[in-house]
Amino acid sequence: MLSEKLKHKKIILASGSPRRQQFLKDLGLDFEIRIREIEEIYPPELKAHEITDYLAVLKSTAFDGDLQPEEILVTSDTIVWHEGVALGKPKDFDDAVKMLRKMSDSTHEVFTSVCLKTTEAVTVFHDVTKVTFASMSDEAIHYYLETCRPFDKAGAYGIQDWLGLTVISKIEGSYTNVVGLPTEKFYRYLSSFAV
């Protein structure tokens, strides 16, 4: 399939996320992981997908001048957008508690942006999924944070773990987008690089 069409290309995934890495494996893609640290700061006037678009591109700039002609760089960013505020990864346990309390018994949006970059082109796209939480008690929040420790995840939760099984009452849009990579869109956009 796509891996055959891209056999003369080399996919570089610039992400330490085991979930994104697993998605690329599940899609049957050969790839190499290269991670560069970059300070994820964005202009305060940006909203929703503007933030994730900006950060996905920003992460790609760490590779400027280093990409080879056959390489396709993949960078990505995910945020939770709730009541006009971006929720990234929690700073600590207390911050995670605050985030989950805010999202309890309400609907939020999850935005993931992906930047595909070569020596000749840059493509950026995003996806959005609406996620509705049932009401959560403080006891449930503390249990979740202590057992699943989702401190590396935007909005302090993973849809694929205990909270996803017990608290999410509705999802509108791509499930994989909430996990951290809108795989259907990603596969489609990546296919265009095979031409």
Catalytic residue among 26, 53, 77, 105: 77
CATH number, residue 184: 3.90.950.10
3-state secondary structure of 145: helix
* Residue 77 known to be catalytic: yes
**Amino acid identity, position 193:** F
Check whether 130 has a pLDDT greater than 90.
yes
Per residue in 155-164, pLDDT (tens digit) is: 999 999 999 9
Average pLDDT of the residues in 99-104:
97
Q: What is the mean pLDDT of the chain?
A: 95
- What's the rounded Cα separation, in Å, for the pair 38 and 71? 20
In this predicted structure, what is the pLDDT of residue 3? 79
pTM, two decimals, is 0.93
The total of structural domains in the chain comes to 1
Per residue in 34-81, pLDDT (tens digit) is: 999 899 899 999 999 999 999 999 999 999 999 999 999 999 999 999
3-state secondary structure of 177: helix
**Better-scored residue on pLDDT, 3 or 185:** 185
Domain range for 16 is: 2-194
Average pLDDT of the residues in 84-90:
94
Reported as a pLDDT band with limits 50, 70 and 90, residue 195 is low
140 contacts 72 by C-beta, under 8 angstroms: no
